[in-house]
Structure 1
Amino acid sequence: MTRFKTSRAGLIAASALSAAALAGGVLIGRATTPAGAPAGPTAESRKVLYWYDPMVPGQRFERPGKSPYMDMPLVAKYADEAPPGPGVQIDPAKVQNLGVRTATIERGTLPSGVTATGVIDFNERDVAVVQAKAAGFVQRVYGRAPGDVVGAGAPLADVLVPEWAGAQGEFLAVRRTGDAALIRAARQRLQLLGMPPGLIASVERSGQVRNVATVTTPSGGVIKSLGVRSGMTVAAGQTLAEVNGLGRVWLNAAVPEAAAGLVQPGQTVTATLAAYPGQTFSGRVTAILPQAEAESRTLTARVELPNPDGRLRPGMFATVQFGGVAQPALLVPSEAVIRTGRRTLVMLADPGGRYTPAEVRVGREAGGRTEVLAGLSAGEKVVASGQFLLDSEASLSGVQARPLGAPAPLKAAAALHESVGRVEQIAPDRVTLSHEPVPAIQWPAMTMQFRLADPALARGLKAGDRVNFAFEQAPAGPTVRRMNRVSP
């Protein structure tokens, strides 16, 4: 009995000790949490704005569930995750690791010239056709062949014309009569039979019949076709040869369809050829052919080039530079432009390390710069390197691009600093002042030169005048915005 009481007392003591220890642990646990410290937000207490699929962030859902696009659950977008301002904010360390570079939108001049490639071709306006004046037989040829370059008057073949023998005999018989009218009529008959004037004069001078005529080229150039062979019979009017002149050649340049509006007839052109490095050939656009090449989407600009020494040969390849006048434009680095196929974007670099996509409309491109027709203003900064990663981050965050026509954010007005000084020297756009200290920007009293925002500010002032002026710290240097003479 005594043993039982002892065991029971031990159990009671052990139970009390365990309860005390448990209570102490709770008290210790409570003591480790600072009084008044807010508990971290739980998923149940956070406000959900919407649910979305990370792969399709632009589509939002009102209820949780499985994505209709991917075999994965929708992700909640909480209110405390919403960015405090427009755009997406990137950790500066990550921006540095990405190698992000920015560029300022500025006005400049963009060359309006167009560069294209072309091929030298024959001038089809300088073609001479050699035909038989009368029916006859080819007695002799002079070894010509298509592709030979010949000069004017080069012989091609000797043709025997039987019909000319009888007519020349009659002419000589009439000539012996001395009747001027009959002689004139007989000479005219020889001309109508196709005899060259030189042959008629030779018959009249020698008094002998000459019914063999030498066919010659009327102009110099290259023989494109030759249809005369020894022993063949020719008919009156038959084409014996075609000669294409080489004094001027055509350069057919393939101009991209997008740049066709910058090329006009009469425009000056310079061409360079691989065959003659370091040399340029000048010409003018004579025509723009009306049909575009469907495969290459180019238009053909026909350029006429002088070729006095015959060095420009058809088939040669050339690089063509169409002249133009540089035109002012709003310019952005070409590498900053993101073309999605549906629209064109740039990433704006906003103050505070935020980045916002903006839709733009672009125009011409030259020298690594692209003309901006709409969507940007001078002075805005865009991302020129790493913009694709920033655009992806903005898409995943559901950031909407600034649409075309939306006004750019207004810049804060530059702070003006006032002081009093004496005019030392006045120039058309500058003024030199000995001014008092400017405590706002920690400037001591000194003599320095200021730019004039408007030359009219110095009108009526002269060296030695005491003035009260206000200036701003512009990128081009301190610029006076207001200046008035004060009493001494």
Structure 2
Amino acid sequence: MSNKVNVLSLLVLGVVVGAIGTFSYISLRGPATDSIQVVTAEQDKPLYWVAPMDPNYTSDKPGKSPMGMDLIPVYKKELGGIDAGPGTIMISPEVVNNLGVRKVKVKKGLLHTKIETVGYVKYDEDLLTHVHPRVEGWIEKLYVKAAGDRITAGQPLYQLYSPTLVNAQEEYLRALERNNQRLIQAAMERLKALQVPDDAITELKKSRQVKQNITFFASEGGVVDNLNIREGFYVKPGNTLFSVGNLDQVWVDAEIFERQSSLVSTGQTVSMTLDYLPGKVWNGKVDYVYPTIDSKTRTLKARLRFDNRHWELKPNMFAQVTIHAEGEKALLVPKEAIIRTGSSDRVVLALGAGRYKSISVKVGRYDEKFAEILSGLSEGDRVASSAQFLLDSESSKSSDFKRMNSQAEDEISVPSTITVEASINSLMAGHRMVNMDHQAISEWNWPAMTMDFTVADSVNFSVLKPGLTLRVELSKSDDGNVEVTAIHIPDSDKSQSNDSGNRATVSGVVNSVMAGHRMVNISRGPIEKWNEPASDVSFMVGKDLDMSVFKVGAMLHFTFENRDGQFVITNINPMQMSGIDGE
């Protein structure tokens, strides 16, 4: 009877609970207990509502989005019990583990800046000597046959016949015959001043025989360079017979872009590699930083010094140079933690308790491992360094930041600039465009490919030629356009470029004349060999030309040369010759 009463009591209690509607379910603690636990069914209230297709549209009450879709409620429990604002996501520990999310702490440290550029090997000019004769005469015998020959100290270089040397020997012998010490000393000093070797003077004193030809010897070892003589040449004291360069140490001239010039100083460590010896690295120092910027290339030249005991480095070699600038204290995060979107840089901030949020940051310099944070983070913050792209994508669904193709409202994007080696395929002078094959650009995740680029007005377009290999500076603007803003042509290619583009003949009309400065402005025709369209150009007038020929409105046919970037008229024909294109 009692069992029936207990069952009946439970049924009545269930009916009462269902009627009142204040309890969600009834649970028994176990088979051996009669106690009852009641759990409330009241749900958390939404914090706000968000549009499913526009995470920036939120509302404090339910309704429709601007696109006519139902707004989605966002609950406090979805944000880990703490409202960190729109864009915060909550991920369970299991999902974090499956995604492989790693977190790193933002900390201050040394940022080691590297400047990567190119350089050219040359002789150490501190060890470079030039061989000059002290007297007039004829080269009777030449022991050095070709530039590049290696010589050692004391090695014979050439034999010289000179009447002056013959007379100087005879004066010494006469002084010896008279046994006058003052005359002997004076005659000997004269022979030494004329660079007669000591052995030749000693032999002359013993043999008392005048030598018609005197042999001259190398004072130090090295490599012969700029050999300007052959047997039978007549030489004078003003002639440089040849130079001798010591290759135990070499200089490397490196060119630094103007924006990096403040990072270079004397004494910095330098590493260098060459294509002809892959895998080998030379270590040296910055020996000297030149005080001026090249007006054409907008680069600063730095002189580097390297040991070269095995003579593997040879003058005029092309090298890849890395200058290791001094480290500076900065707020750092790993490079892989940065999400680069083109219009802004972002990181995924770990808020704790499984909460993450994508935020915008301002990034400064980079080194091999770290990026400098200028604003957006504080020391001690933690950011995701792996799987951050997935977290950023999820955070963007309710983020309060604008995305990749929109201009960031809280910062101004700075165009990125890189340097890369490229080869010119073709030119479009009328549009100031160039088609180039460029190497891979890791900073922009670009593979090696062929592309068209516009060329900035600050770059001298006339020096660009099809087939030319050079290093170019590419700058990317906020809207994604990329243009060539600086160029560097290797010395080996400059002579080629200047050979074919140094002189042109063209017709034109005089616009203005500045007689006092020997300068005229002419509307000239196109120059096909330079791929240059017709334009108004200011020319200097050669000193041997009559300025009176230049009159405003006159039609001229003239020849001019490009002399270090300045156009100089060298020949002129004042005849009316319209319709003639540049040759």
TM-score norm. by structure 1 comes to 0.56
Secondary structure at 1:361 match in 2: strand
- Aligned pairs, number: 346
* Structure 2 letter corresponding to 1:103: K
Report the equivalent of 2:213.
Answer: 212
Residue 202 of structure 1 and its aligned partner are, at CA, apart by 3.3
1:267-346 aligned within 5 A: 267-269=268-270, 283-290=284-291, 301-314=302-315, 315=317, 317=319, 322=324, 329-346=330-347
- 2:440 matched residue in structure 1: none
Amino acid at match of 2:152: G
- Contact 1:141–1:156 (CA under 8 A) maintained in structure 2: yes
* Residue 75 (structure 1) aligns with: 67
RMSD: 4.8
For 1:96 and 1:114, how far apart are their aligned partners in 2? 36
**Amino acid of the structure 2 residue aligned with 1:248:** Q
Aligned ranges for residues 47-196 of structure 1 at < 5 Å? 75=67, 85=83, 86-90=85-89, 92=91, 99=99, 101-107=101-107, 109-110=109-110, 112=112, 114=114, 116=116, 120-191=121-192, 195-196=196-197
Matches of 2:399 and 2:320, distance apart in 1: 50
If you compute each CA radius of gyration, which structure gives the higher value, 1 or 2? 1
Moved more, 369-378 or 386-395: 386-395
Q: Where does residue 358 of structure 2 map in the other structure?
A: 357
Contact 1:49 1:78 (C-alpha < 8 Å) held by counterparts: no
Of the structure 1 ranges 132-141 and 169-178, higher mean CA displacement relative to structure 2 is found in 169-178
- 1:256-267 aligned within 5 A: 263-267=264-268
SS class of match (1:104): strand
| Residue 142 (structure 1) shift | 1.6
Quick check: 373-382 or 222-231, which moved more? Answer: 373-382
What is the rounded CA distance, in whole Å, between the counterparts of 1:181 and 1:98 in structure 2? 101
Task: Specify the code of the residue in structure 2 equivalent to 1:302.
Answer: R
202 and 249 in structure 1: CA distance in 2 versus 1, 3 angstrom threshold: same
2:89, 2:357 within 8 Å by CA — same for their partners in 1?
no
Secondary structure of 1:226's counterpart equals coil
* Residue of structure 1 in register with 2:442 after alignment: none
> AA paired with 2:86?
G
Counterparts of 2:135 and 2:383, CA distance in 1: 79
Letter of the aligned partner of 1:288 in structure 2?
V
How far apart, CA to CA, are the structure 2 residues paired with 1:355 and 1:331? 20
Contact 1:116–1:254 (8 Å) recurs in 2: no
Give the CA deviation at 1:146: 0.9
Change (3 A) 1:291 1:185: closer
Structure 1 residue 329: Cα displacement: 4.6
Distance 1:351 1:193, change over 3 A: closer
Instruction: For 1:296 and 1:171, locate their aligned partners in 2 and report how far apart those are by CA, in whole Å.
Output: 59
Structure 1 pair 221–112 and aligned structure 2 pair: CA distance change class (3 A): same
**What's the secondary structure of 1:242's corresponding residue?**
strand
* Structure 2: distance between partners of 1:282 and 1:367: 19
SS in 1 for 2:226: strand
TM-fit CA distance, 1:179: 3.2
Between 141-150 and 289-298, the greater mean CA deviation after superposition: 289-298
Q: Specify the alignment match of 2:236 in structure 1.
A: 235
How far residue 286 of structure 1 moved from its aligned partner, in angstroms, is: 1.3
Bigger relative contact order (CA 8 A; separation at least 6): 1
Q: Distance in 2 between matches of 1:83 and 1:137?
A: 102
Query: Per-residue displacement from partner, 1:273-303 (whole Å, max 9, x unpaired)?
Result: 7888998765432123456799999865433
**2:349 alignment partner in structure 1:** 348
1:224-245 per-position Cα deviation (integer Å, ceiling 9, x unaligned): 2111211222122211111111
Query: What is the CA-CA distance between 1:213 and the residue it aligns to?
Result: 1.8
Choose 158-167 or 361-370, whichever is displaced more: 361-370
| Matches of 1:299 and 1:76, distance apart in 2 | 61
**Partner in structure 2 of residue 64 of structure 1:** none
For 2:193 and 2:379, the matched residues in 1 are separated by: 78
3-state DSSP of counterpart to 1:134: coil
Structure 1 pair 298–189 and aligned structure 2 pair: CA distance change class (3 A): closer
List runs of 5+ in structure 1 lacking aligned partners: 1-33, 37-47, 61-72, 406-488
Q: 1:337-486 residue pairs with structure 2 within 5 A?
A: 337-351=338-352, 354-388=355-389, 390-391=391-392, 394=395, 397=398, 399-400=400-401
| Greater alpha carbon shift after TM alignment, 347-356 vs 73-82 | 73-82
Measured after TM superposition, the shift of residue 160 of structure 1 is: 1.0
CA deviation vs aligned residue, 1:155-204 (integer Å, no higher than 9, x gap): 22211112322342243234322333444444455455554554444333
Rounded Cα–Cα distance in structure 1 between residues aligned with 2:325 and 2:400? 44
- Distance in structure 2 (CA, Å) of the matches to 1:104 and 1:295: 45
